[in-house]
Amino acid sequence: MINKIGVLTSGGDAPGMNAAIRGVTRYAIQRGLTVEGIIRGYEGLLRHETRPLGRRDVGAIIHHGGTVLRTARCLEFKEKETQQKAAEYLREQEIDALVVIGGDGSMRGAEALSGFGFPTITIPGTIDNDMVGTQYTLGFDTAVNTVLESVNKIRDTAFSHDRVAVIEVMGREAGFIAISAGMASGAEAVLVPEHKVDLAALCQHLEESHRMKKLSSIVIVAEGAAKGSDVVDYIKEHTYLSPNLTVLGYVQRGGAPSAYDAIMAGRFAQKAVDSLLDGTHNCVIGLIDNKVVATPYAEAAKLRYPIDENLFELVHLLGR
């Protein structure tokens, strides 16, 4: 029987994490549970940094970026002995289950705890949108909108000076942000990790566009596809065009969550708590075919959703 749950955020922060903390806390209390917040993720769990969470403790955080519980990456938690100690500490604190908010690495930590018989649930929170078991992760929509706002501002300068604006965005292993922001902003080209980068073909594409009287171009580069600086240098060396570079960096992780991220945080939180109370645990909460579902970790590992290839092609067809 579950009476008390813990909640932590782990890995890279993402907009919507605070909304998820709020949702888990208030919905759990509504269902008759008590909630313990764990500070600084798995690192804080190992150092016994916890505090009770009540309704007022999570007030006015729904539209704050970052995470009020803080976060950290903890390499030490990869060791089985460490995981076992963490599970034992949770039981000592009379915590019956743990809700983890984070990305793939955070989910692996939750799955490891479940291997020691401790119930866990993972809520997907990463701007890269590249987790197994779900087609959507908290923070992705906000990150895309942040990139879109920046691109629209950069476009003004690119147009005024007849330039190629190369914009590097996050996405070490997946190009979801680059493709969605590229489509929404009308970018001419998008470079993503899922496709081999051909800078010679990119230059030819840009030159053809400018011969068609296009005065400026936007090229969005996912960090896992190529370094933005390398792309700029190549264009300078092989064309007559004038490229410049903007690396958006951590600005993509910050800020208040979009309406969609805040709404989904609440829906994911509800599903997480309901699942635990129904006896369904050791799962990742996800959005699959527009339905919020709880998928066992082992099954989720087989459900990895790729980028939309049609959208990738459409960006380039419409970008000229």
Annotated binding site for ADP: 22-26, 155, 186-188, 214-216
Residue bearing tokens 């459409």: 314
Pick from 202, 176, 200, 201: which is nearest to 189 by CA? 202
Nearest CA to 274 among 301, 292, 251, 249?
292
Q: Rounded distance, CA 100 to CA 276, Å?
A: 13
Residues of each annotated binding site for Mg(2+) = 104
How many other C-beta atoms are found inside a 10 Å radius of the C-beta of residue 59? Answer: 11
User: What DSSP character marks residue 198?
Assistant: -
User: Measuring CA to CA, how many Å separate 104 from each of 137, 173, 230?
Assistant: 11, 12, 29
Binding residues for substrate: 126-128, 163, 170-172, 223, 250-253
Distance CA 127, CA 212 (A): 36
Q: What are the binding residues?
A: 12, 22-26, 73-74, 103-106, 126-128, 155, 163, 170-172, 186-188, 214-216, 223, 250-253
Identify the active-site residue in 13, 128, 141, 261. 128
Annotated binding site for ATP: 12, 73-74, 103-106
Burial class (CB in 10 A: 0-12, 13-18, 19+), 310: exposed
45 contacts: CB under 8 Å, gap ≥ 6: 8, 38, 77, 86, 89, 90
What length does the chain have? 320
> Which residue, 219, 197, 220, is CA-closest to 207?
219
Has 308 been annotated as catalytic? no
What are the residue numbers of the active site? 128
